[in-house]
Chains A and B, each alone.
Chain A
Amino acid sequence: MAPPALPTPFYSESDPPLQQGDVVAVPFARLQTDPDLLPARWQSIDASRAQLELPGELPETWAIGGWGWGMVISHDCRLDKEFNKLVRRLHQKEQLPLHEAAAIAERDPSLDRFVSVCPVLSLATFPDQAADVAAGNVIDLFHLPADEGREWAESVVDLAYRVTVDRLFIEHRRLVLSEEARMRLRFAVARAETFRSSDIGFQLEQVMNKRIRDVRQDPSNAIGVEIEMWDGTVVQLVQQPAEPPTGGPQRSRAPSAAREQ
Protein backbone atom coordinates (compact mmCIF):
# COMPACT_ATOMS: atom_id res chain seq x y z
CA MET A 1 0.00 0.00 0.00
CA ALA A 2 1.45 3.35 -0.97
CA PRO A 3 2.13 5.77 1.88
CA PRO A 4 -0.40 8.56 2.22
CA ALA A 5 0.54 11.82 0.57
CA LEU A 6 1.92 14.42 2.92
CA PRO A 7 -0.36 17.34 3.69
CA THR A 8 0.49 20.25 1.44
CA PRO A 9 1.68 22.57 2.71
CA PHE A 10 3.03 20.79 5.81
CA TYR A 11 4.25 24.01 7.44
CA SER A 12 2.27 27.18 7.89
CA GLU A 13 3.27 30.75 7.08
CA SER A 14 1.08 32.04 9.92
CA ASP A 15 2.50 33.34 13.17
CA PRO A 16 -0.08 32.43 15.82
CA PRO A 17 0.46 32.28 19.59
CA LEU A 18 1.95 29.01 20.86
CA GLN A 19 -0.03 26.00 19.68
CA GLN A 20 0.15 22.25 19.38
CA GLY A 21 2.64 21.17 16.72
CA ASP A 22 4.95 24.19 17.02
CA VAL A 23 8.66 23.42 16.84
CA VAL A 24 10.31 25.47 19.56
CA ALA A 25 13.64 25.67 21.37
CA VAL A 26 13.28 23.82 24.69
CA PRO A 27 15.25 21.77 27.21
CA PHE A 28 14.72 18.04 27.64
CA ALA A 29 15.57 15.72 30.50
CA ARG A 30 14.90 12.18 31.57
CA LEU A 31 15.57 10.37 34.84
CA GLN A 32 17.51 7.16 35.10
CA THR A 33 19.53 5.26 37.63
CA ASP A 34 22.60 4.72 35.49
CA PRO A 35 24.32 7.97 34.42
CA ASP A 36 26.29 6.20 31.73
CA LEU A 37 23.31 4.77 29.88
CA LEU A 38 23.18 7.06 26.85
CA PRO A 39 20.99 5.61 24.07
CA ALA A 40 22.27 6.48 20.59
CA ARG A 41 18.96 7.98 19.46
CA TRP A 42 19.17 10.70 22.13
CA GLN A 43 22.86 11.50 21.85
CA SER A 44 22.19 14.81 20.15
CA ILE A 45 20.15 16.10 23.11
CA ASP A 46 22.14 14.47 25.93
CA ALA A 47 24.45 17.36 26.75
CA SER A 48 24.79 17.13 30.51
CA ARG A 49 23.86 15.14 33.60
CA ALA A 50 23.39 15.73 37.31
CA GLN A 51 22.46 13.58 40.25
CA LEU A 52 19.41 14.44 42.32
CA GLU A 53 19.90 15.07 46.03
CA LEU A 54 17.88 12.30 47.67
CA PRO A 55 18.11 10.14 50.80
CA GLY A 56 20.62 7.35 50.41
CA GLU A 57 17.95 4.72 50.88
CA LEU A 58 16.45 5.66 47.50
CA PRO A 59 18.00 4.49 44.24
CA GLU A 60 20.61 6.71 42.63
CA THR A 61 18.66 9.12 40.42
CA TRP A 62 20.28 10.99 37.54
CA ALA A 63 18.82 13.67 35.33
CA ILE A 64 20.24 13.66 31.81
CA GLY A 65 19.35 16.34 29.34
CA GLY A 66 20.09 19.26 27.10
CA TRP A 67 18.46 21.67 24.68
CA GLY A 68 17.18 21.19 21.18
CA TRP A 69 14.22 21.75 18.91
CA GLY A 70 11.10 20.18 20.35
CA MET A 71 7.50 19.87 19.27
CA VAL A 72 4.67 21.12 21.46
CA ILE A 73 2.43 18.13 22.14
CA SER A 74 0.03 19.68 24.64
CA HIS A 75 -3.32 20.26 23.02
CA ASP A 76 -4.38 23.83 22.39
CA CYS A 77 -7.07 23.47 25.10
CA ARG A 78 -4.37 22.80 27.65
CA LEU A 79 -2.10 25.61 26.44
CA ASP A 80 -4.63 28.37 27.09
CA LYS A 81 -7.13 26.89 29.52
CA GLU A 82 -6.28 28.93 32.62
CA PHE A 83 -5.58 32.02 30.52
CA ASN A 84 -8.98 31.87 28.84
CA LYS A 85 -10.71 31.21 32.14
CA LEU A 86 -9.13 34.24 33.78
CA VAL A 87 -9.85 36.54 30.84
CA ARG A 88 -13.45 35.40 30.81
CA ARG A 89 -13.81 35.99 34.54
CA LEU A 90 -12.25 39.44 34.38
CA HIS A 91 -14.41 40.36 31.41
CA GLN A 92 -17.72 38.92 32.52
CA LYS A 93 -17.62 39.31 36.29
CA GLU A 94 -15.41 42.35 36.72
CA GLN A 95 -16.63 44.07 33.56
CA LEU A 96 -13.13 44.78 32.23
CA PRO A 97 -12.79 45.31 28.47
CA LEU A 98 -11.50 42.20 26.74
CA HIS A 99 -8.16 43.69 25.72
CA GLU A 100 -7.53 44.83 29.29
CA ALA A 101 -8.54 41.46 30.74
CA ALA A 102 -6.24 39.71 28.24
CA ALA A 103 -3.37 42.05 29.11
CA ILE A 104 -3.79 41.34 32.83
CA ALA A 105 -3.92 37.59 32.21
CA GLU A 106 -0.89 37.73 29.94
CA ARG A 107 1.11 39.31 32.74
CA ASP A 108 0.40 36.34 35.02
CA PRO A 109 3.23 33.87 34.37
CA SER A 110 1.62 31.14 36.45
CA LEU A 111 -1.19 30.45 33.95
CA ASP A 112 -0.87 27.28 31.87
CA ARG A 113 2.73 27.23 32.99
CA PHE A 114 3.73 23.77 31.88
CA VAL A 115 3.85 22.41 28.38
CA SER A 116 4.42 18.90 27.10
CA VAL A 117 7.09 18.62 24.39
CA CYS A 118 8.91 15.90 22.46
CA PRO A 119 12.38 16.22 20.93
CA VAL A 120 12.88 16.70 17.21
CA LEU A 121 15.68 14.42 16.02
CA SER A 122 17.47 14.11 12.72
CA LEU A 123 16.06 11.42 10.43
CA ALA A 124 19.64 10.16 10.17
CA THR A 125 19.22 8.99 13.79
CA PHE A 126 17.10 6.15 12.43
CA PRO A 127 19.03 4.90 9.39
CA ASP A 128 17.37 1.49 9.34
CA GLN A 129 13.86 2.86 9.61
CA ALA A 130 14.13 5.99 7.47
CA ALA A 131 11.70 4.78 4.80
CA ASP A 132 9.16 3.51 7.32
CA VAL A 133 9.43 6.67 9.40
CA ALA A 134 8.88 8.86 6.34
CA ALA A 135 5.84 6.73 5.44
CA GLY A 136 4.43 7.18 8.95
CA ASN A 137 4.69 3.48 9.70
CA VAL A 138 6.64 3.70 12.95
CA ILE A 139 4.59 4.24 16.07
CA ASP A 140 6.19 6.84 18.36
CA LEU A 141 7.91 8.67 15.51
CA PHE A 142 6.26 11.59 13.73
CA HIS A 143 7.91 12.54 10.48
CA LEU A 144 8.69 16.17 9.64
CA PRO A 145 9.51 16.62 5.95
CA ALA A 146 12.37 18.79 4.75
CA ASP A 147 11.59 22.32 3.66
CA GLU A 148 14.20 23.97 1.51
CA GLY A 149 12.75 27.45 1.84
CA ARG A 150 12.92 27.24 5.60
CA GLU A 151 16.34 25.54 5.54
CA TRP A 152 14.81 22.68 7.48
CA ALA A 153 16.20 19.16 7.12
CA GLU A 154 14.02 16.04 7.22
CA SER A 155 13.44 15.21 10.89
CA VAL A 156 11.50 13.08 13.31
CA VAL A 157 9.58 13.89 16.47
CA ASP A 158 10.25 11.24 19.10
CA LEU A 159 6.84 10.81 20.71
CA ALA A 160 8.30 8.28 23.16
CA TYR A 161 10.36 10.99 24.88
CA ARG A 162 7.81 13.35 26.33
CA VAL A 163 8.93 16.04 28.71
CA THR A 164 7.04 18.59 30.76
CA VAL A 165 8.79 21.94 30.50
CA ASP A 166 8.26 25.39 31.88
CA ARG A 167 6.49 27.55 29.31
CA LEU A 168 8.83 30.42 30.20
CA PHE A 169 11.61 28.53 28.42
CA ILE A 170 9.75 28.89 25.16
CA GLU A 171 10.88 32.00 23.32
CA HIS A 172 11.97 30.90 19.86
CA ARG A 173 9.87 29.03 17.34
CA ARG A 174 11.27 27.42 14.25
CA LEU A 175 8.17 26.00 12.57
CA VAL A 176 4.38 26.14 12.71
CA LEU A 177 2.46 23.17 11.32
CA SER A 178 -0.42 23.58 8.90
CA GLU A 179 -3.85 22.57 10.14
CA GLU A 180 -3.69 19.35 8.14
CA ALA A 181 -0.29 18.47 9.55
CA ARG A 182 -1.55 19.21 13.07
CA MET A 183 -4.39 16.77 12.48
CA ARG A 184 -1.84 14.21 11.38
CA LEU A 185 0.16 14.89 14.55
CA ARG A 186 -2.90 14.30 16.74
CA PHE A 187 -3.46 10.98 15.10
CA ALA A 188 0.19 10.03 15.60
CA VAL A 189 -0.04 10.97 19.29
CA ALA A 190 -3.27 9.01 19.71
CA ARG A 191 -1.75 6.03 17.95
CA ALA A 192 1.38 6.20 20.11
CA GLU A 193 -0.56 6.44 23.34
CA THR A 194 -3.65 4.32 22.83
CA PHE A 195 -3.42 2.06 19.84
CA ARG A 196 -0.12 0.52 20.67
CA SER A 197 -1.58 -1.97 23.11
CA SER A 198 -3.67 -3.37 20.34
CA ASP A 199 -3.06 -3.55 16.64
CA ILE A 200 -6.65 -2.68 15.83
CA GLY A 201 -5.59 0.45 13.95
CA PHE A 202 -3.38 -1.53 11.63
CA GLN A 203 -5.99 -4.23 11.24
CA LEU A 204 -8.54 -1.65 10.24
CA GLU A 205 -6.16 -0.07 7.77
CA GLN A 206 -5.41 -3.47 6.33
CA VAL A 207 -9.07 -4.42 6.02
CA MET A 208 -10.02 -1.08 4.53
CA ASN A 209 -6.87 -0.89 2.43
CA LYS A 210 -6.72 2.77 3.42
CA ARG A 211 -4.84 4.75 6.00
CA ILE A 212 -6.56 6.27 8.99
CA ARG A 213 -6.29 10.03 9.15
CA ASP A 214 -8.38 10.90 12.19
CA VAL A 215 -10.36 9.23 14.92
CA ARG A 216 -13.05 11.08 16.84
CA GLN A 217 -15.97 10.43 19.07
CA ASP A 218 -19.38 10.52 17.43
CA PRO A 219 -21.04 13.66 18.90
CA SER A 220 -24.46 12.02 18.71
CA ASN A 221 -23.48 8.80 20.41
CA ALA A 222 -21.40 8.52 23.59
CA ILE A 223 -19.85 5.20 22.58
CA GLY A 224 -19.72 5.83 18.86
CA VAL A 225 -16.40 6.33 17.14
CA GLU A 226 -15.83 7.84 13.75
CA ILE A 227 -12.74 6.85 11.86
CA GLU A 228 -11.83 9.12 8.99
CA MET A 229 -9.67 7.64 6.27
CA TRP A 230 -7.21 9.61 4.19
CA ASP A 231 -9.53 9.49 1.14
CA GLY A 232 -12.22 11.27 3.17
CA THR A 233 -14.48 8.29 3.85
CA VAL A 234 -15.73 7.89 7.39
CA VAL A 235 -16.23 4.57 9.17
CA GLN A 236 -18.52 4.51 12.20
CA LEU A 237 -17.83 1.99 14.95
CA VAL A 238 -19.07 1.20 18.41
CA GLN A 239 -16.33 2.07 20.86
CA GLN A 240 -14.37 -0.77 22.40
CA PRO A 241 -15.86 -0.66 25.88
CA ALA A 242 -12.98 -1.93 27.98
CA GLU A 243 -9.25 -1.69 28.52
CA PRO A 244 -7.12 -4.38 26.91
CA PRO A 245 -6.74 -7.36 29.24
CA THR A 246 -3.62 -7.82 31.26
CA GLY A 247 -1.28 -10.59 30.24
CA GLY A 248 0.52 -8.83 27.42
CA PRO A 249 4.25 -9.00 26.93
CA GLN A 250 6.02 -8.60 30.24
CA ARG A 251 9.56 -8.34 31.46
CA SER A 252 10.90 -11.65 32.62
CA ARG A 253 12.36 -9.95 35.70
CA ALA A 254 12.31 -6.59 37.39
CA PRO A 255 14.82 -4.01 36.13
CA SER A 256 16.39 -3.86 39.60
CA ALA A 257 17.05 -7.60 39.48
CA ALA A 258 18.60 -7.22 36.05
CA ARG A 259 20.88 -4.43 37.30
CA GLU A 260 22.18 -6.53 40.14
CA GLN A 261 23.44 -9.20 37.76
Chain B
Amino acid sequence: MLILSPEERANLWLRAATAHDHDERERLLEQVASSALEERLRSKFDLYGDLGDRFVDSVLLLADADRLLDNDMLRRFQAIAIDERGGDRFFSAVIARLGEVVEDAAVAADLRARAREHHDYWRGHAPSLAEELYSIDDVARHFFVSKAAVYRWIKNGKLAARRTPGGSIIGVFASELAGSTPAKELTQLAVAEATRHRAIDSGAQLAYESVLADIAAGRAKEVPARRYDPDRADALERAEELAVAQSPTGGYETDYPEGFVRRGSFDRK
Protein backbone atom coordinates (compact mmCIF):
# COMPACT_ATOMS: atom_id res chain seq x y z
CA MET B 1 0.00 0.00 0.00
CA LEU B 2 1.24 3.48 -0.83
CA ILE B 3 1.84 5.51 2.35
CA LEU B 4 2.86 9.14 1.92
CA SER B 5 4.00 11.61 4.55
CA PRO B 6 2.54 15.18 4.51
CA GLU B 7 5.78 16.39 2.86
CA GLU B 8 5.58 13.70 0.15
CA ARG B 9 1.96 14.62 -0.39
CA ALA B 10 2.86 18.27 -0.85
CA ASN B 11 5.58 17.26 -3.29
CA LEU B 12 3.22 15.03 -5.31
CA TRP B 13 0.58 17.79 -5.33
CA LEU B 14 3.08 20.38 -6.53
CA ARG B 15 4.34 18.14 -9.29
CA ALA B 16 0.78 17.50 -10.46
CA ALA B 17 -0.06 21.21 -10.33
CA THR B 18 2.99 22.20 -12.37
CA ALA B 19 3.16 19.34 -14.88
CA HIS B 20 2.91 20.64 -18.42
CA ASP B 21 2.56 17.29 -20.10
CA HIS B 22 -1.08 16.18 -20.06
CA ASP B 23 -0.32 12.48 -19.61
CA GLU B 24 2.18 13.15 -16.85
CA ARG B 25 -0.33 15.40 -15.07
CA GLU B 26 -3.03 12.75 -15.35
CA ARG B 27 -0.67 10.08 -14.03
CA LEU B 28 0.24 12.23 -11.02
CA LEU B 29 -3.41 13.08 -10.31
CA GLU B 30 -4.25 9.40 -10.42
CA GLN B 31 -1.56 8.92 -7.77
CA VAL B 32 -3.19 11.62 -5.69
CA ALA B 33 -6.59 9.93 -5.92
CA SER B 34 -5.17 6.44 -5.39
CA SER B 35 -3.27 7.40 -2.26
CA ALA B 36 -6.43 8.89 -0.77
CA LEU B 37 -8.33 5.74 -1.59
CA GLU B 38 -5.66 3.33 -0.45
CA GLU B 39 -4.85 4.92 2.86
CA ARG B 40 -8.20 5.95 4.22
CA LEU B 41 -11.11 4.97 2.04
CA ARG B 42 -10.40 1.34 1.27
CA SER B 43 -12.61 0.09 4.08
CA LYS B 44 -15.55 2.14 2.88
CA PHE B 45 -15.73 1.04 -0.71
CA ASP B 46 -15.19 -1.96 -2.86
CA LEU B 47 -12.12 -0.83 -4.69
CA TYR B 48 -12.20 -3.80 -6.98
CA GLY B 49 -15.47 -2.63 -8.42
CA ASP B 50 -16.34 0.54 -10.24
CA LEU B 51 -15.95 2.89 -7.27
CA GLY B 52 -12.19 3.23 -7.33
CA ASP B 53 -12.21 4.24 -10.99
CA ARG B 54 -15.10 6.62 -10.36
CA PHE B 55 -13.22 8.37 -7.58
CA VAL B 56 -10.13 8.75 -9.74
CA ASP B 57 -12.31 10.16 -12.54
CA SER B 58 -13.95 12.57 -10.09
CA VAL B 59 -10.54 13.90 -9.08
CA LEU B 60 -9.43 14.27 -12.70
CA LEU B 61 -12.67 16.06 -13.53
CA LEU B 62 -12.16 18.57 -10.72
CA ALA B 63 -8.64 19.25 -11.99
CA ASP B 64 -9.96 19.84 -15.51
CA ALA B 65 -12.59 22.23 -14.11
CA ASP B 66 -9.88 24.06 -12.17
CA ARG B 67 -11.46 23.12 -8.83
CA LEU B 68 -8.80 20.89 -7.35
CA LEU B 69 -5.24 22.15 -7.24
CA ASP B 70 -5.51 24.93 -4.67
CA ASN B 71 -4.01 25.33 -1.21
CA ASP B 72 -7.21 24.43 0.56
CA MET B 73 -7.43 21.02 -1.11
CA LEU B 74 -3.69 20.51 -0.65
CA ARG B 75 -4.12 20.95 3.11
CA ARG B 76 -6.94 18.41 3.06
CA PHE B 77 -4.81 16.01 1.05
CA GLN B 78 -1.95 16.39 3.52
CA ALA B 79 -4.32 15.90 6.47
CA ILE B 80 -5.04 12.36 5.23
CA ALA B 81 -1.60 11.39 6.58
CA ILE B 82 -2.11 12.83 10.06
CA ASP B 83 -5.83 12.97 10.76
CA GLU B 84 -7.93 9.86 11.21
CA ARG B 85 -10.83 11.57 9.47
CA GLY B 86 -8.66 13.21 6.86
CA GLY B 87 -9.66 10.73 4.15
CA ASP B 88 -13.36 11.26 4.77
CA ARG B 89 -12.88 14.98 4.67
CA PHE B 90 -10.89 14.93 1.48
CA PHE B 91 -13.70 12.83 -0.02
CA SER B 92 -16.42 15.17 1.25
CA ALA B 93 -14.53 18.11 -0.25
CA VAL B 94 -14.41 16.31 -3.60
CA ILE B 95 -18.20 15.82 -3.43
CA ALA B 96 -18.80 19.46 -2.49
CA ARG B 97 -16.62 20.70 -5.33
CA LEU B 98 -18.33 18.42 -7.83
CA GLY B 99 -21.53 20.17 -6.75
CA GLU B 100 -19.90 23.52 -7.48
CA VAL B 101 -18.91 22.41 -10.96
CA VAL B 102 -22.51 21.35 -11.61
CA GLU B 103 -23.71 24.85 -10.71
CA ASP B 104 -21.01 26.75 -12.60
CA ALA B 105 -22.37 27.87 -15.97
CA ALA B 106 -18.87 28.86 -17.08
CA VAL B 107 -17.74 25.23 -17.10
CA ALA B 108 -18.08 23.25 -20.35
CA ALA B 109 -21.36 21.36 -20.64
CA ASP B 110 -19.77 17.91 -20.95
CA LEU B 111 -17.73 18.44 -17.79
CA ARG B 112 -20.82 19.64 -15.94
CA ALA B 113 -22.77 16.60 -17.07
CA ARG B 114 -20.03 14.27 -15.86
CA ALA B 115 -19.78 16.22 -12.61
CA ARG B 116 -23.55 15.90 -12.07
CA GLU B 117 -23.41 12.15 -12.61
CA HIS B 118 -20.52 11.75 -10.13
CA HIS B 119 -22.01 14.15 -7.63
CA ASP B 120 -25.38 12.45 -7.59
CA TYR B 121 -23.73 9.06 -7.41
CA TRP B 122 -21.56 9.95 -4.42
CA ARG B 123 -24.39 11.66 -2.59
CA GLY B 124 -26.44 8.49 -3.06
CA HIS B 125 -23.69 6.08 -2.05
CA ALA B 126 -21.90 8.10 0.63
CA PRO B 127 -24.45 10.48 2.18
CA SER B 128 -22.53 10.53 5.47
CA LEU B 129 -19.48 11.90 3.66
CA ALA B 130 -21.53 14.58 1.97
CA GLU B 131 -22.83 15.69 5.37
CA GLU B 132 -19.49 15.41 7.16
CA LEU B 133 -19.20 17.73 10.15
CA TYR B 134 -16.12 19.61 11.26
CA SER B 135 -15.65 20.48 14.92
CA ILE B 136 -14.75 24.04 15.88
CA ASP B 137 -11.24 22.78 16.67
CA ASP B 138 -10.95 21.23 13.21
CA VAL B 139 -11.98 24.43 11.47
CA ALA B 140 -9.61 26.49 13.62
CA ARG B 141 -6.73 24.16 12.80
CA HIS B 142 -7.58 24.07 9.12
CA PHE B 143 -7.50 27.84 8.76
CA PHE B 144 -4.80 28.49 11.41
CA VAL B 145 -7.10 30.74 13.41
CA SER B 146 -8.36 30.75 16.98
CA LYS B 147 -11.52 28.95 18.02
CA ALA B 148 -12.90 32.34 19.00
CA ALA B 149 -12.50 33.43 15.38
CA VAL B 150 -14.48 30.42 14.17
CA TYR B 151 -17.27 31.16 16.64
CA ARG B 152 -17.29 34.71 15.34
CA TRP B 153 -17.54 33.54 11.73
CA ILE B 154 -20.55 31.44 12.70
CA LYS B 155 -22.11 34.31 14.63
CA ASN B 156 -21.58 36.65 11.67
CA GLY B 157 -23.07 34.19 9.21
CA LYS B 158 -19.82 33.37 7.41
CA LEU B 159 -20.23 29.70 8.30
CA ALA B 160 -23.34 27.55 8.80
CA ALA B 161 -23.24 25.29 11.82
CA ARG B 162 -25.34 22.35 12.92
CA ARG B 163 -26.80 23.05 16.31
CA THR B 164 -28.58 21.13 19.03
CA PRO B 165 -32.23 22.03 19.64
CA GLY B 166 -30.94 24.16 22.51
CA GLY B 167 -28.73 26.14 20.14
CA SER B 168 -25.31 24.72 21.08
CA ILE B 169 -22.99 24.27 18.14
CA ILE B 170 -22.29 20.67 17.15
CA GLY B 171 -20.06 21.35 14.18
CA VAL B 172 -19.65 23.02 10.84
CA PHE B 173 -20.88 21.38 7.66
CA ALA B 174 -18.09 20.14 5.43
CA SER B 175 -19.94 21.58 2.46
CA GLU B 176 -19.48 25.01 4.05
CA LEU B 177 -15.73 24.60 4.01
CA ALA B 178 -15.03 22.34 1.10
CA GLY B 179 -16.19 24.37 -1.86
CA SER B 180 -13.49 26.42 -3.54
CA THR B 181 -15.37 29.72 -3.20
CA PRO B 182 -16.09 29.50 0.54
CA ALA B 183 -12.57 28.19 1.10
CA LYS B 184 -11.10 31.24 -0.62
CA GLU B 185 -13.35 33.60 1.33
CA LEU B 186 -12.55 31.92 4.61
CA THR B 187 -8.85 31.91 3.81
CA GLN B 188 -9.06 35.65 3.24
CA LEU B 189 -10.86 36.00 6.55
CA ALA B 190 -8.17 33.92 8.22
CA VAL B 191 -5.46 36.15 6.78
CA ALA B 192 -7.36 39.22 7.99
CA GLU B 193 -7.64 37.52 11.37
CA ALA B 194 -3.90 36.98 11.56
CA THR B 195 -3.26 40.59 10.56
CA ARG B 196 -5.69 41.77 13.20
CA HIS B 197 -3.74 39.91 15.87
CA ARG B 198 -0.47 41.44 14.94
CA ALA B 199 1.08 44.71 16.03
CA ILE B 200 -1.08 47.80 16.23
CA ASP B 201 0.12 50.53 13.92
CA SER B 202 -1.37 53.75 15.26
CA GLY B 203 1.58 55.85 14.13
CA ALA B 204 2.32 56.85 17.72
CA GLN B 205 5.77 56.39 19.17
CA LEU B 206 5.55 53.33 21.35
CA ALA B 207 6.53 53.58 24.99
CA TYR B 208 8.54 50.38 24.93
CA GLU B 209 10.98 52.01 22.50
CA SER B 210 11.94 54.62 25.09
CA VAL B 211 12.09 51.92 27.78
CA LEU B 212 14.57 49.93 25.70
CA ALA B 213 16.53 53.07 24.88
CA ASP B 214 16.73 54.07 28.56
CA ILE B 215 17.88 50.59 29.56
CA ALA B 216 20.47 50.51 26.77
CA ALA B 217 21.77 53.96 27.82
CA GLY B 218 22.08 52.90 31.45
CA ARG B 219 19.37 55.31 32.62
CA ALA B 220 17.52 52.46 34.36
CA LYS B 221 18.96 50.34 37.15
CA GLU B 222 18.14 46.83 38.18
CA VAL B 223 15.82 46.74 41.16
CA PRO B 224 17.72 45.33 44.15
CA ALA B 225 16.49 42.20 45.89
CA ARG B 226 14.26 42.88 48.83
CA ARG B 227 15.70 42.90 52.29
CA TYR B 228 14.10 41.99 55.57
CA ASP B 229 13.96 44.96 57.91
CA PRO B 230 12.49 43.83 61.26
CA ASP B 231 11.50 47.34 62.32
CA ARG B 232 9.79 48.07 59.04
CA ALA B 233 8.10 44.64 58.99
CA ASP B 234 6.80 45.26 62.53
CA ALA B 235 5.52 48.70 61.58
CA LEU B 236 3.70 47.37 58.52
CA GLU B 237 2.18 44.55 60.50
CA ARG B 238 1.03 46.86 63.27
CA ALA B 239 -0.52 49.19 60.71
CA GLU B 240 -2.45 46.30 59.21
CA GLU B 241 -3.62 45.04 62.60
CA LEU B 242 -4.80 48.51 63.44
CA ALA B 243 -6.71 48.77 60.17
CA VAL B 244 -8.36 45.39 60.73
CA ALA B 245 -9.26 46.27 64.33
CA GLN B 246 -10.88 49.49 63.23
CA SER B 247 -12.83 48.07 60.33
CA PRO B 248 -16.53 47.89 61.11
CA THR B 249 -17.92 44.39 60.91
CA GLY B 250 -21.60 44.99 61.31
CA GLY B 251 -22.10 47.85 58.92
CA TYR B 252 -22.14 51.55 59.62
CA GLU B 253 -24.87 53.35 61.44
CA THR B 254 -26.32 56.06 59.28
CA ASP B 255 -26.66 58.35 62.22
CA TYR B 256 -25.08 61.57 61.06
CA PRO B 257 -23.45 64.02 63.42
CA GLU B 258 -25.25 67.30 63.70
CA GLY B 259 -24.58 69.52 60.75
CA PHE B 260 -23.85 66.68 58.31
CA VAL B 261 -26.28 66.42 55.42
CA ARG B 262 -26.47 63.32 53.33
CA ARG B 263 -27.04 64.13 49.69
CA GLY B 264 -30.07 62.46 48.22
CA SER B 265 -28.86 62.40 44.67
CA PHE B 266 -26.39 64.00 42.37
CA ASP B 267 -27.37 66.96 40.28
CA ARG B 268 -28.06 65.78 36.78
CA LYS B 269 -28.08 68.49 34.21
Q: In the bound complex, do residue A18 and residue B223 qualify as a contact, i.e. CB atoms below 8 Å apart?
A: yes
Distance of A171 Cα from B224 Cα, bound (Å): 9
Q: Which residues of B have CB within 8 Å of A24?
A: 223
Contact present for A241 and B228 (CB under 8 Å): no
Closest-CB distance, B167 to chain A (whole angstroms): 9
> Across the interface, which residues of A come within 8 angstroms of B197, CB to CB?
49-51
- Those of A57-72 within 8 Å (CB) of chain B: 60-61, 64, 66-69
Interface stretch of the complex, out of A1-9, A101-109, A132-140, A186-194 = A101-109
List which B144-190 residues lie within 8 A (CB) of chain A. Answer: 146-152, 154-155, 169
The residue in B147, B211, B240, B252 that gathers the most chain A C-beta atoms within 10 A of its C-beta is B211
Which B residues touch A48, using CB under 8 A?
198-200
Q: Measured between alpha carbons, how far is A119 from B207 in the docked complex, in Å?
A: 10
- In the complex, whether A52 has a CB less than 8 A from a CB of chain B is yes
Cβ-neighbour of B208 out of A67, A101, A245 (below 8 A)? A67
List residues of chain A with CB within 8 A of the CB of B256.
241
Which chain B residues border A18 with CB–CB below 8 Å?
A: 223, 226
- Is there contact, CB below 8 Å, between B211 and A67? yes
Report whether A240 and B233 are in contact in the complex, using a CB–CB cutoff of 8 Å: no
> Measured between alpha carbons, how far is A249 from B197 in the docked complex, in Å?
36
Is the C-beta of A151 less than 8 angstroms from some C-beta in chain B? yes
Chain A residues near B257 (CB-CB < 8 A): 238
A155 to chain B, nearest CB (A): 10
Residue A11, interface by CB 8 Å? no
Residue of B nearest to A83 (CB): B226
Task: Name A245's contact: one of B136, B252, B262 (CB within 8 Å).
Answer: B262
| A-binding residues in B (CB < 8 A) | 136, 146-152, 154-155, 169, 196-200, 202-208, 210-211, 214-215, 219-228, 230, 233, 236-237, 239-240, 242-243, 246, 252-257, 260, 262-266, 268
Residues of A participating in the B interface, judged by any CB pair closer than 8 Å:
15-18, 22, 24-25, 35, 38, 43-56, 60-61, 64, 66-69, 76-77, 79-81, 83-84, 87-88, 98, 101-102, 105-106, 119-121, 150-151, 170-174, 198, 217, 219, 222, 238, 240-242, 244-245, 247-249
